[in-house]
């Protein structure tokens, strides 16, 4: 939704779908840069501003684009009207700035669709039970779209973005990256959480929970969603040939926190991580060393970079950690390989570690799940690690 011209391009896609006989509901995000500007305005007045007023401000970007999109659809001869979150209503909890959608009574939108109007719904926003405006967290329009698709029992949810699908890795970093025709929800969830910026992770979570067939495709291509030019995100059963590794992702958004010489006794992990969880800080990789003397140990974990200093302050305030040294490193990256076939194949971790060793990249910490292996490495090795793993796992595009 960069500017009015792009809104008109998107309106052409809606028209294309309507001409194919489809009923369409549209969700829009704000125009490029607008949300950042609105966040900045809030911070200029008060860096720690009241989250409910922050939401009132940042939700306004989508009010503009819903109206503009409805106008662009009128111009194309389609009946259409705009809906703010509260008009739908998208009923959310009161966790301002990162609200979750609790309920979408479909009646208003159903009525709109039945009267052959195209509803244009503001992404990213909702309303609390007490009538306050909320937002879903940055990038949350994807989540609005999936939630709406589930509520309306849509046949498909198409997400138009600035990339034309999901790639085996970041094509700006590795030109040999390939577009995937299909990935599973599980893989996409891992990839989104691990740094692939294509989709808001919660949108994938919702799509998986509600079985919403989801397609990622480009705003910049003329084709429309019904021609299936993007990447389909589907159930595992819908994929015949399961790749052992389907993607390599990276993120530089994490910080590594190490607490040295914590007392080695029952309850210590709980007393460190409970307050962090209560502060709403997401912990990812956790490593606890063996205790050489049986008395103390070191604990290493990662948190989002933006929460690093908050985490440090929090840990410093804990009685149980009095006198413990706390180290915070922000020059790290997490590199991951993801693939649904991993759950039934061995040796992925070994291959990954060998490749990194051959390239003299030191691993700082490791974490795995059924379908992914992640390592922390020094940030300066990110590109090398991603490129080499992409090649080693056979993901490079064949030269024409
Ligand atoms: N406009 C919001 C943001 O920039 C939501 C979105 O774009 O998905 O985070
Ligand atoms: Mg977005």
pLDDT tens-digit map of 32-73: 899 999 999 999 999 888 999 999 999 999 999 999 999 999
At 198, the pLDDT band (50, 70, 90 cuts) reads: confident
Taking the centre of ligand 2 as the mean of its atom positions, its distance from the CA of residue 124, in whole angstroms, is 9
Per the prediction, the chain carries an average pLDDT of: 93
Asked if residue 22 has pLDDT above 90, the reply is yes
Residues 3 and 99 reside in one and the same domain? yes
* Alpha-carbon span 193 to 374, nearest angstrom: 12
Q: What is the mean pLDDT of residues 322-336?
A: 94
Residues 115 and 262 reside in one and the same domain? no
Residues 6+ apart with CB under 8 A from 109: 25, 83, 88, 119, 121, 148, 151, 152
Full-model pTM: 0.83
Residue bearing the CA closest to ligand 1, atom 6: 139
Residues 259 and 301 reside in one and the same domain? yes
pLDDT at 399: 66
Asked if residue 259 has pLDDT above 70, the reply is yes
CATH number for 367: 3.30.2130.10
Taking the centre of ligand 1 as the mean of its atom positions, its distance from the CA of residue 138, in whole angstroms, is 5
Residues 360 and 320 reside in one and the same domain? no
Ligand nearest to the CA of 160: 2
Greater pLDDT, 345 or 131: 131
* pLDDT tens sequence across 224-237: 999 989 999 999 88
Q: Taking the mean position of all CA atoms in its chain, how far away is CA 62?
A: 19
Q: Exposed (0-12), middle (13-18) or buried (19+): which is 245, by Cβ within 10 Å?
A: buried
* Alpha-carbon span 141 to 138, nearest angstrom: 8
Q: Is residue 136 part of a domain?
A: yes
Residues 338 and 306 reside in one and the same domain? no
At 140, the pLDDT band (50, 70, 90 cuts) reads: very high
**Domain boundary, last residue among 133, 155, 177:** 155
At 201, the pLDDT band (50, 70, 90 cuts) reads: confident
In ligand 1, the atom with minimum distance to the C-alpha of 61 is 1
Q: What is the mean pLDDT of residues 305-330?
A: 93
pLDDT over 70 for what percent of the chain? 100
pLDDT over 90 for what percent of the chain? 79
Residues 129 and 263 reside in one and the same domain? no
pLDDT at 394: 93
Residues 386 and 274 reside in one and the same domain? no
pLDDT at 219: 87
Residues 150 and 277 reside in one and the same domain? no
CATH number for 265: 3.30.70.260
pLDDT at 53: 96
pLDDT at 232: 95
Taking the centre of ligand 1 as the mean of its atom positions, its distance from the CA of residue 229, in whole angstroms, is 24
Residue bearing the CA closest to ligand 1, atom 8: 139
Nearest by Cα to 308 from 260, 345, 352, 255: 255
Q: What is the mean pLDDT of residues 75-101?
A: 97
Ligand nearest to the CA of 219: 2
Q: Is residue 124 part of a domain?
A: yes
Ligand nearest to the CA of 29: 1
Q: What is the mean pLDDT of residues 282-303?
A: 88
- Testing ligand 1's pocket by substitution, the residue of 123, 135, 147 carrying the most ligand atoms inside 8 A of its CB is 123
Q: Is residue 170 part of a domain?
A: no
Residues 27 and 135 reside in one and the same domain? yes
Q: Which domain holds residue 135?
A: 1-155
State which residues have CB under 5 angstroms from ligand 2, the bound ion: 139
At 190, the pLDDT band (50, 70, 90 cuts) reads: confident
Query: 77-81, 86-90, 362-366, 395-399: which range is least confident on average?
Result: 395-399
pLDDT at 48: 83
Taking the centre of ligand 1 as the mean of its atom positions, its distance from the CA of residue 139, in whole angstroms, is 4
Q: Exposed (0-12), middle (13-18) or buried (19+): which is 322, by Cβ within 10 Å?
A: exposed
At 242, the pLDDT band (50, 70, 90 cuts) reads: confident
Q: Which residues line ligand 1 (CB under 6 A)?
A: 29-30, 35, 61, 123-124, 138-141
pLDDT at 1: 82
Q: Is residue 89 part of a domain?
A: yes
Q: What is the mean pLDDT of residues 293-321?
A: 92
Residues 297 and 150 reside in one and the same domain? no
Query: 47-61, 148-162, 186-200, 265-279: which range is least confident on average?
Result: 186-200
pLDDT at 239: 77
């Amino acid at each position: 939704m960069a500017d009015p011209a792009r809104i008109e391009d998107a309106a052409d896609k809606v028209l294309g779908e309507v001409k194919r006989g489809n009923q369409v509901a549209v969700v829009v995000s704000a125009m490029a840069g607008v949300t950042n500007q609105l966040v900045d305005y809030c911070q200029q007045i008060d860096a720690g501003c009241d989250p409910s007023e922050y939401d009132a401000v940042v939700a306004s970007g989508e009010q503009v684009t819903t109206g503009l999109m409805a106008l662009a659809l009128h111009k194309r001869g389609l009946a259409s009207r705009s809906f703010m979150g509260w008009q739908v209503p998208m009923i959310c909890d009161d966790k301002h700035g990162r609200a979750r959608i609790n309920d979408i009574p479909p009646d208003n939108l159903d009525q709109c669709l039945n009267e052959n109007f195209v509803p244009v719904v503001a992404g990213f926003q909702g309303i609390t039970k007490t009538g306050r405006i909320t937002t879903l967290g940055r990038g949350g329009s994807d989540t609005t779209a999936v939630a709406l698709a589930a509520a309306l029992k849509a046949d498909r949810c198409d997400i138009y973005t600035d990339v034309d699908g999901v790639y085996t890795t970041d094509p700006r970093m590795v030109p040999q990256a390939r577009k995937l025709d299909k990935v599973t929800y599980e893989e996409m969830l891992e990839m989104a959480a691990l740094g692939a910026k294509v989709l808001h992770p919660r949108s994938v979570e919702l799509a998986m929970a509600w079985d919403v067939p989801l397609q990622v495709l480009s705003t910049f291509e003329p084709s429309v969603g019904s021609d299936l030019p993007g990447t389909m995100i589907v159930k595992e059963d819908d994929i015949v040939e399961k790749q052992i590794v389907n993607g390599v992702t990276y993120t530089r958004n994490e910080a590594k926190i190490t607490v040295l010489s914590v007392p080695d006794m029952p309850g210590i992990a709980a007393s460190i991580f409970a307050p962090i969880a209560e502060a709403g800080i997401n912990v990812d990789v956790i490593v606890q060393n063996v205790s050489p003397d049986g008395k103390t140990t070191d604990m290493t974990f990662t948190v989002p970079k933006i929460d690093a200093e908050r985490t440090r302050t929090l840990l410093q305030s804990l009685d149980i950690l009095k006198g413990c040294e706390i180290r915070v490193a922000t020059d790290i990256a997490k590199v991951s390989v993801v693939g649904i076939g991993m759950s039934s194949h061995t040796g992925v971790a070994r291959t990954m570690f060998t490749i990194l060793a051959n390239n003299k990249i030191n691993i700082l910490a490791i974490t795995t799940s059924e379908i992914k292996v992640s390592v922390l490495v020094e940030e300066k090795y990110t590109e090398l690690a991603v490129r080499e793993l992409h090649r080693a796992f056979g993901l490079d595009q064949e030269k024409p």
